[in-house]
Every structure is written in structure tokens, then in C-alpha cells.
Amino acid sequence: MSIALSIIYLIATITFIVGLKKLGHPETAKSGNLIAAGGMGLSIVGTIFIHDLEVPTFIYVLIGVAILLGSIIGWLIAIKVEMTKMPELVSLFNGFGGASAALIGFVEFSKQVDESLQAITIIAGIIIGAITFSGSLIAWGKLNGSLKSVVKIPQHNLVNNLFFILILAFAGYTVFTGVQSPIITYSLLAGGLIYGILFVLPIGGADMPVVISLLNSLTGIAAAITGVLYDSMVMLVGGILVGAAGIILTVAMCKAMNRTLGSVIFGNFGGGVVPVEGVNKALGSITRTTASDAAIMMNYATNVIIVPGYGLAVAQAQHVIHELEELLAGKGVNVKYAIHPVAGRMPGHMNVLLAESNVEYNMLMEMDDINPQFSNADVVLVVGANDVVNPAAHNDPASPIYGMPILDVENAKHIIVNKRSMKAGYAGIENELFYNTKTAMLFGDAKAALTDLVTEIKNM
């Protein structure tokens, strides 16, 4: 029986690795996800039916009911969630993973713990899982607007650090003395939950994608710890893969935003002052345009670059922008999409959104590849993007985004920016691009504005 289970775990581990590899490209991502999910399902079935659990039949019934309910709820949520809500869903599901790790540690710590290493493993699982759970819920609340982008906590860095040191000291004392009691277990769990809240609450909205990635990594670490606890190679490998991938993604996003992980955690990036609509004493005034004028400009262009942002996702305008792209291409216009690494709310958000509307993947150009081409673009259409096209990243050393790699939209011959209003982006700062003499602002909901553009071009 143990040999059969080991083979199943080995197969599952291989599927995790193959699935993760396939997730690196949109054309193979779906099959990669299915392969990894199949491996996970195989390992669950093997654990339940082959592993020598020695538990009453009633427990098997409860496990089956839990799996069935969880599968139904997860399936319903996944098929109904909008693309704009995907980062929130990731954060929420990630929180449940942390909660699972914390609960496992909670149960195990209530038993007799004989070794210090075992105690360290259990306590680490409780603390990390609790931090991930509460922190992910706070991140979810910020992303869906239930919580303010930045919640001011006086001396929050000092408070957070002291509280974390206190948790570590209490955990060390528990391991050193070998004391076991329900009070200690509840205290460790409560400490982790409180720190997760304190950790995420002050962080600005612009840094939420980085925080989610970091929390996702912590969930992987918690899962790996659980794998050590139960001597399960498949849990260990799965946790390591999630943890490592989360760390790599976190570092990549920090690099794309010209930020260090320390500045994300301690810097409060985001939540600045919203500018007065249409005028700025230092930068000048904006130029407005209409769908008719914008359509004329794009219709007679040779090269057009489209820059999608979160506003496109919010308006669910991905199908309309694909129609616009096809319409322009049919008129002989060379159209490309410029994708910033952190456009939207998470890396790959725009890629998945546009793939949903059947935009050809070879039309999506990454930042490093598209930036040299902006100078040859007759028209750039920016839809719902803000901070990722802000020239302040190059021009203003005092700006919080100074040094952040951006799309060099300002180098194009003509720029059309579609926004609902002059409200600042996630970073909470003004965008110099909007006041550029080459820029014309097309105000309105992205879906409505793009629909008007399509109609105008069709009538030409």
C-alpha cells in the first residue's frame, strides 16, 4: 500500500512541475492548470483511500461531504467571477489556504508534542498560516473597496515590528519550555491573526499586487511546513513550488515598480492627493477630444499602439477593443498592444483579459519590446491605464514612482487617453502625460467610448 501511495505522490509531484511550466505561456496555461489539478486530485484520492488512516467511517463521510461542498462552492465562484475581480479571488482563496495550514497546526499542537523540531514546525505553521489568512482577507477588502487604500496607524512600522518580535519571543519560549496548553495555542493563533491585519492594513493600494504575491508565497511555505510535519513529499514539493514561485513573482513585481520589498512593506505607496479635474497650475491644462475626432486620427494612422489598463477591465470592454483592433487592421492599420508587467491588478491580468476576447497573443508586446516602437507610433490609445504611463517616473525625482519602468507613451506622435475622469491612479499622484500637448483626453466609460469609436470608424 505504501509503495502504491508513493508512486501516486511521485506522479502528482511531476504533474505539479509540468503544470507550473505550462503556466508560463498562454497557449499552454489551460492544459497546465488541468494537469496540475489532476495531480492534486490524484494525491487526495490516494491519501483518502490508500493511506492507512485508521479513522471511523463517519470521518470518511465528513471528508467526502467537505470535498463535495468545497468543489461546488469553488466551481460556482470561479465560473461567475469577473476578470476584474480575479485578483480578489486569488487573495481570498489564498487566505483559505493559510487558514488550513493554521488549523492543521492548531489541531496538532493540541496533541502531545515530544520533540523541539516538531514543536517548531507546528508553531511555524500556526503563525504563518494565521498571518496569511488575516492578511489575505485585508488585501481582499482593499481590492474590492471595502477598506481604504491606506489606513493610518500611528508609528505602524514600530508597532508591527515590536508585535512580530513579541510573537517570535513567545513562540521561542513555548518551544524552549515545552509547555502545552489551550491558552498558548489560542494565543499563538490570535497573535498571527492580529499581525496579519497590522501587516497589510497600512500598505497602499498600489502595492496590493505585491502583497498578494508575498502572502501567496507564505501560504506555500505553510503548506511545505505541513508536508514536513506529516512527512508528505507531495505537500512538501507543492508548498515549495508555490512558495518559490510567489517569491520570484514578488521580486519581479518590485523590480517592475522600481521598489524594494522593504519599501512595499514599510513605505505606504499610494493614497495621495487627487488633482483638481482638468487643470494643474504647474503642468497646465488638458485637451479634450471626441469619439469622432479620435476615430479620424486612428483611421488614417499607419501604426497604432493600444495600452490597456485596469479601466478596460472594470468596464468589461475587452471584446469592444478587439473589435476596434480588427476594424483598424482591416483598413490596413498596423495595431499592437503594449502590456506593462503590473497593468491591471496582477501580472498577466491584461494578457488573460485580452485572450478572453480572442486577441492573438503575438499582438501583445511586453514593455521592453514595445518601448522602442512608441516613437514610430502615429497614435497611441491608452484605455484605463494611469501610473504605468506616467512620465513622472522619468522626469520627477521627487515622485514616489520615480525610476519605475513605464511604457514610453510620451514618445508617440499623438496620444489619446480614455478615462472616466481626472482622478488619480492607484499611486495617488498626478499624471504628466495627461497635460502633454500631444495628448487628447477622451472622457467616459471605456466600453461606451470604444463603442463610439468603433461606430465612427465604421461610418468612414
Angle between helices 208-229 and 86-109 (to 10 degrees): 30
Summarize the chain as % helix, strand, coil (round to 5).
Answer: 65, 10, 30
Phi, psi for residue 384 in degrees, rounded to 5: 75, 10
Beta pairing, strands 303-308 & 334-339: parallel
Question: For 268, phi and psi rounded to 5 degrees?
Answer: 55, 50
3-state secondary structure of 223: helix
Please identify which residue in the block is written with the cell numbers 497589510. Answer: 200
- How many Cβ atoms sit within 10 Å of the Cβ of residue 240? 16
Q: What are phi and psi of 381, to 5 degrees?
A: -105, 115
Q: For this structure, is 114 an active site residue?
A: no
Instruction: With beta carbons less than 8 A apart as the criterion, state whether 413 and 377 touch.
Output: yes
- List of residues 6+ apart from 58 with CB closer than 8 A: none
How far is the CA of 400 from the CAs of 52, 204, 252, 258, 403, in angstroms? 57, 12, 18, 10, 9
Distance CA 298, CA 335 (A): 10
Q: Is 231 left (phi over 0), alpha (psi -120 to 50) or beta?
A: left
Contact 196, 135 (CB under 8 A): yes
Are the C-beta atoms of 219 and 154 separated by less than 8 Å? no
Tell me how far apart the alpha carbons of residues 128 and 123 are, in angstroms, rounded to a whole number.
9
CB 51, CB 5: distance < 8 Å: yes
The number of beta carbons lying within 10 Å of the beta carbon of residue 223 is 27
* Contact criterion met (CB below 8 Å) for 138 and 207: no
| Residue found by looking up cell 511545505 in the block | 224
Pick from 248, 252, 249, 254: nearest CA to 266:
254
Cell digits for 84? 476584474
* Annotated catalytic residue within 207, 387, 408, 452: 387
Cell of 129: 498560516
CA distance 220 to 253: 18
- Where do the H-state alpha helices sit in 331-409? 349-356, 367-370, 392-395
Catalytic residues: 387
